[in-house]
Amino acid sequence: MPTRAERQGRNESLFREVNERIAELNQTFHVEGRSEFLCECSREECKQPVSISIDEYEGVRRESTRFFVIPGHEDESVERVVERNERYVVVEKFGEAADEADDLDPRS
C-alpha cells in the first residue's frame, strides 16, 4: 500500500501533468495574459482553478519541487511557502515529498 505522502505526491504530480498540457496549448495558440490552471495541492477532491500567466507558470516549473496552490491549500507539514499573493501560493516540497516530486518531474 502506498503511504499517504506517496499518494499525495502522486496526486500533485498528476495535476502537474495536466497543467503541462494546458501550458503547451497556451503556447501553441499564443494565449496572452492569464489562464486557468488546476490547483496542484494534495487534496484528492480539489479541482479548483488557479488564474496564472504562462510566465508565472514557467517560473514555478523551473524547480521540480515547486508547485502552486490556491491560498489555504498549502500543507506546511510537507512543504514551505516561497511566494504568496492574492491568487495563489507557491510551495516548495521538502523531505520525502521533495524526492517524490523530483522523481515524477515531467521535465527531468
Residues that bind Zn ion (CB under 5 A): 39, 41, 46, 73
Using CB atoms within 10 Å of the CB of residue 29, give its burial: 0 to 12 exposed, 13 to 18 middle, 19+ buried.
Answer: exposed
For residues 44 and 58, which CB has a smaller minimum distance to Zn ion in the complex?
A: 44
Question: How many other CB atoms are there within 10 angstroms of residue 56's CB atom?
Answer: 19
Q: How far is the CB of 21 from Zn ion (least distance, A)?
A: 18
Give the residues across from 79 on adjacent strands.
93
Q: How far is the CB of 29 from Zn ion (least distance, A)?
A: 26
For residues 41 and 90, which CB has a smaller minimum distance to Zn ion in the complex?
A: 41
